[in-house]
Amino acid sequence: MTRQSPPGNPGNATEPTTTPRRTSASRPRRPDGRSPLAALGRLLVRRRLTVVTAVLLAAAVAVPFAGSVAGRLSGGGFTDPAAESTRAEAFLANRFGTGPPHLVLLARAPGPVDAPGTERAGRDLVRRVLAQPGVLSAVSYWTAPQQAARQALKGRDGRSALVLVRLAGDTDRVHTTALDVVPRLTGHQGVLDVSATGPAQVGVEVQEHSQRDLLRAEAYALPLLLVILVLVFGSAVAAGLPLLIGGLSILGTFLVLRVVSAFTPVSVFSINITTALGLGLAVDYSLFLVTRYREEAARGLTTAEAVARSMRTAGRTVLFSALTVALSLSALLAFPLYFLRSFAYAGIAVVAFAAFSTLVVLPALLGLLGPRVDALDVRRLLRRRTRRTATAGPGGIASTLRAATVRRPVVCAAAVVGLLVVLGLPFARVSFGLADDRALPADASAHRTARFVREEFTARGSAALPVVLPEAGGRAREVGAYALRLSALPGVARVDAVTGSYAYGSRLAAASPASAAYTAGGATWLSVVTSVEPYSPRGTALVASLREQAAPGPALVGGDAAVLTDTRRAVTDGLPVAALIVGGATVVLLFLFTGSVLIPVKALLLNLLSLTAAFGAMVYVFQDGHLRFLVGDFTVTGTVDITMPVLMFCVAFGLSMDYEVFLLSRIREAYAQTGDNALAVGVGTAHTARLIGAASVLVAVPMAALATSGITFLKLLGVGLALAVLMDATLVRAVLVPAAMRLAGRANWWAPAPLRRLHDRLGCGDG
């Protein structure tokens, strides 16, 4: 004998009225009156005016402080501060006052750069550069003391030359100086046409583009989100609630980032993920709580009781979901790069504020609105059609897949696993690099200038690898022999040292007065000018060869290629800790949530599988350059920024756990009522299919809005996260999870007796 599900039950699933069997998941529920979350819900409804007023006042006070956060954040953070390459460059700067250039000025003349008028203009340009505040040094074709160095700074066309500029201060000060001086030094400078590139200028332009892209992404995402929210909620009032929750979450996170930036560097790019993740999670959490509130209200409960029961069920789910997402993002703290750590700061804060706003502010708002939450129904006359349209979206697809899964769980699961594995295969040939000027749009000034330098200057003097010998200052003969050996390595165009210049295993020039700059205070260094692209396999192979050579004492190799090598090592070394955090958090929290041992392990494996499509697309689209017309044009470098897979994994895994918790909450609730695993899986999936489908679209919209960015790594992040969310909501939650749980049967809910008693003692079974 069966009864129809109550109003608001998607899929109109049926539930038996038989007495449930006693299992670890079907112990007597705690009455609403004894549920802390239910009690909190009643309190918030009673104090609704006080809560809403206090939150709005706090938000108003926070706006001036949070609004200026972008000016307090940094544009760097892509390197390991303890790496050998970082120590090499710090030693160079502190002991010798030199190092890799921050700015590369490209000067193009109408005729030969050796012409008298052009040479005068070039020397005048260098004098103006040196006169700028914050400039430490400038070396150019016209002023370099060594003939070999001069030739490296002259273009093959004979009409272009380089000026290499070093700036004072840390990354933020260098960027500020570049922002100030570059406009005064570029453009028409006498007979010269000057443009700028180099790490500082690239950083300035990337930051400017990302801030403009963020505004554009918000302009695209917010109207589209509002339209979809109205379609999903069927009410303009209800649709506005997630946007309010999202706004509070973002505001609170900006305030936290400003405070954190006073103690440690925070990447400016964390703002982008704050906005996208804040809106996405606010929509997720609000959708599930408001939907549950409507279901309870439709059963005839008062507003206070509907809110209380929604808090006990959906509120508990939101709480566990927020914990899992936050812990997944906390894995980014395992890496020494503050670019990645910044996303942990921002992500944890935005999750916390989204959960707080949903569990504190939203119940108070529901208490204020009551039945008026359904007001301003802009499609009242087409309500049924609207519901059908919403169900025909991702939720409808998920429902169709669910029905097929019920009939053929093994076949459907095998097909989906096979598809995801095939989609993930391109990642097997991933090649890692770091972001450089090519992350900018092709028409960006720094990108155009750097492209010209790569094409016209064979010896890459602007990207030389410094080799520091801290204890070999007085061993000139050994240093000379060492420089000779280095000059013979593949990919080395020239080596400049205190003993002279070397190339291809021969000495080009003897030491000159300018060579004294290569030694100071018992230390010396060599400049290894290369003919290879730094962020390429040949570049990293050259670094390995340099570090393998026997040196006259300890040696530190720096430069762009060395930075890539060291960053790879830093990321690789951090992966085990990050994996332990993510895996451990998943297993522990899902055990506390369900009381099961098998479900957490299953969730861990399926969440990993759900990311394969996004990781495959990362290589197929952004490394290999296929299907660019779908995501917008970008420069194909043949590599993927090494930080992106780590960042995408932590964020996407957390969002996948979000849907896992929502789905498990309904399955577990049904199993506690019936004791029938197969029926519980069907009922739980039916309750959540449309909601998870709608939520995935609403989360994917702000993520996909990042794809409109002209910055390649932000575009990659947006596309990858949107794809991961949609694939997870449809294929994984609609097919793999139900199939796996149906096949496992009652073993889903098994736990050893000691763990079962621990779960019961901790009281995690109810909100």
Q: Tell me the per-residue pLDDT of 435-446, one tens digit each, with 9 for 90 and over.
A: 889 999 999 999
DSSP 728: I
For the chain, percent of residues with pLDDT exceeding 70: 90
Question: Which residue is associated with the tokens 């949609």?
Answer: 726
What confidence score (pLDDT) does residue 537 get?
Answer: 87
CA distance 630 to 156: 38
The phi-psi region of residue 456 (left if phi > 0; otherwise alpha if psi is between -120 and 50; otherwise beta) is alpha
Please give the span between the terminal C-alpha atoms of the chain, in angstroms, as a whole number.
30
pLDDT digits (tens, 9 = 90+) for 487-545: 999 999 999 999 999 999 999 888 888 888 899 888 999 999 888 888 888 999 999 99
pLDDT over 80 at 148, yes or no? no
Contact 14, 4 (CB under 8 A): yes
CA atoms within 13 A on the CB side of 277: 36
Per-residue pLDDT band at 14 (split at 50, 70, 90) = very low
What confidence score (pLDDT) does residue 767 get?
Answer: 52
Tell me the three-class secondary structure of 602-666, residue by residue.
HHHHHHHHHCHHHHHHHHHHHHCCCCHHHHCCCCCCCCEECHHHHHHHHHHHHHHHHHHHHHHHH
Per-residue pLDDT band at 197 (split at 50, 70, 90) = very high
What confidence score (pLDDT) does residue 172 get?
Answer: 87
Contact 547, 467 (CB under 8 A): no
pLDDT over 50 at 607, yes or no? yes
What confidence score (pLDDT) does residue 315 get?
Answer: 93
What confidence score (pLDDT) does residue 395 get?
Answer: 45
Contact 206, 439 (CB under 8 A): yes
What confidence score (pLDDT) does residue 5 get?
Answer: 39
Per-residue pLDDT band at 103 (split at 50, 70, 90) = very high
How many CB atoms are closer than 10 A to CB 375? 11
CA distance 676 to 673: 9
**Average pLDDT over the chain, rounded to whole?**
87
CA distance 638 to 669: 49
Residue 236, token pair as written in the block: 């303009």
pLDDT over 90 at 214, yes or no? no
What confidence score (pLDDT) does residue 7 get?
Answer: 35
Beta bridge partners of 432: 640
How many CB atoms are closer than 10 A to CB 592? 17
What confidence score (pLDDT) does residue 232 get?
Answer: 85
CA distance 454 to 535: 13
What confidence score (pLDDT) does residue 766 get?
Answer: 57
pLDDT over 80 at 352, yes or no? yes
What confidence score (pLDDT) does residue 397 get?
Answer: 56
pLDDT over 70 at 577, yes or no? yes
Residue 457, token pair as written in the block: 């200057």
pLDDT digits (tens, 9 = 90+) for 235-274: 888 989 999 999 999 999 999 999 999 999 999 989 988 8
pLDDT digits (tens, 9 = 90+) for 312-344: 999 999 999 999 999 999 999 999 999 999 999
